[in-house]
Each structure stands twice: as C-alpha cells, then as structure tokens.
Amino acid sequence: MYQVNRRQLLATSAIALLLIPQAARAALIKSGLPWTPGAADPPTIVRPGPWHFFTAQEAATVEAFVDRLIPSDDLSPGGKDCGCAVFIDRQLAGPYGRFDGYYMSGPFHKGTKQQGPQSSITPAQHYRKALTALDNACRQKFGGKIFTALSDEQKDEAIKGLEDGSLKLEGLDGKEFFKLILKNTQNGFLADPIYGGNKDAASWKMIGFPGTHYDYRDWIDRHNQRVTLPTIGIADHPDWSG
C-alpha cells in the first residue's frame, strides 16, 4: 500500500492551496488554514488599563463574581486581585470570544459533553447576554438589587442558584453560564501572568509551581523533593522580546 510521508503531505497541501482560486485562497488564509502570518508570534503582554470587551458595569459584575468563586485567604489573593476578570476580558475581546476557528454556520444540535460547545452563540455573546440576565434575575430575587449590590452571602446564593439551576436567566441556561465563567476564572487564576490573570504568579507560588523555566533537567532525578527554583513567567525571561 502506498504511504505518504509527512514531507510529501505538506508539499501536496501547499500545491493544492496554490491551485485554489485567489479569492478562495485568501478566505482560507484569513481563516487560519493552513497558516496565517504572525500566528506563531509570542503573546503580547497584557497591561493594566481600560476594559477591552466589558462595559464598566459588566466588569464590576465579573470582578464581584470571580471574587466569590476564589475568595481571598491567607494562601492567595482573591479572583479580582489576581486579575481573573482582566484575563476574561482580554480573552473575550480576542479570538476566543469570537470562537475563531470554530465552524459557526450550523445547523446546531445539542451534543454530548464530549463534543464540546454546540451553539451559534460565541463566548462574547454569551457573557453579554448572561450578565444582563443575571442582574435582572437578582433584581427579582433580592428586592431590586443587582449582583454587585448584594452582600457576600447573597452573591453566594445567586451563584449557587446558577450552578443548580434554581436561579433562572431569561433566554439562557444559567447552569451553562456558571460552567463557562467558572472555567474561565480557573484559567485566569492558573494561566501565565502574561495573559492578565495570575497576577505576580500568585497561584503558582501557592501551589509551588516554578513556572516557565526552559527545562528541568537538573531536577529529573530528584524525587519527592521540593523544587526551589524561583517562580517565573514567560515575560520574566531575560531574552523576552514580546
């Protein structure tokens, strides 16, 4: 049986791309297939500053929300001070928020858990609708108060209501929004600080993760020993050029 090796496959793909009409080829390249200029460039450091996606009110709601998901304690700062809302904001303003790379033309059917998102709504659209719906649901349940005006106990009650489905969001599944913002908060808490969350590598220091050292060859054979390397992120390397 004839087998195509990797080099032949890449060459064939390149030739096939060249044979596609110019307009179609431009559309393919724009979509990220097979490659787009700058796609392999290092990430840009997220700096403090204005919100890129959230309105001021949306940002306040998300900051309050992530601070209840990860409250501050003697081990680490809370979700807000760790930058989880900043991380989410920048992600929603970028390719993730638009679901770039996903097939978004339908038809859409509810799939299994293993199949991932099966929706025409992008994460950015999901947040925009859900945050408005959350404030409306809180007004109805807590005497006219929006989420940011609630006490910590009431915020926890509202979040629990989203998780178990007892707090209904108009036009949306509250459980799905809870899963989305929880996952995004976890990502922001544990991601490299270059993306805006995990400020000062607080979560890495908490769990004892040294971060993005080039290699750990000197530690491979040191079993059951605490790693004493300093905690660093991508942008902490002296040759960083981002």
Cα dihedral 184, 188, 190, 191 sign:
positive
Question: From CA 66, how far away is CA 69, in angstroms rounded?
Answer: 5
When mean pLDDT is compared over 47-51, 65-69, 214-218, the highest value belongs to: 65-69
94 domain residue, yes or no: yes
91 domain residue, yes or no: yes
50 domain residue, yes or no: no
161 domain residue, yes or no: yes
Q: What is the pLDDT of residue 119?
A: 81
Q: Dump pLDDT digits (tens) for 161-205.
A: 999 999 999 999 999 999 999 999 999 999 999 999 999 999 999
Say if residues 40 and 146 touch (Cβ distance below 8 Å).
no
Which structural domain range is residue 139 located in?
Answer: 56-103+120-205
Question: Does residue 172 or residue 31 have the better pLDDT?
Answer: 172
160 domain residue, yes or no: yes
Flag whether pLDDT at 149 surpasses 80.
yes
User: Cα angle vertex 188, ends 182, 193, to 5°?
Assistant: 170
Average pLDDT, the chain: 86
Question: From CA 52, how far away is CA 94, in angstroms rounded?
Answer: 9
- CA atoms within 13 Å, Cβ hemisphere of 63: 16
187 domain residue, yes or no: yes
Total count of domains within the chain = 1
Q: Dump pLDDT digits (tens) for 210-240.
A: 999 988 899 989 999 888 899 999 998 877 6
Which run of H or E residues covers position 206?
helix 202-207
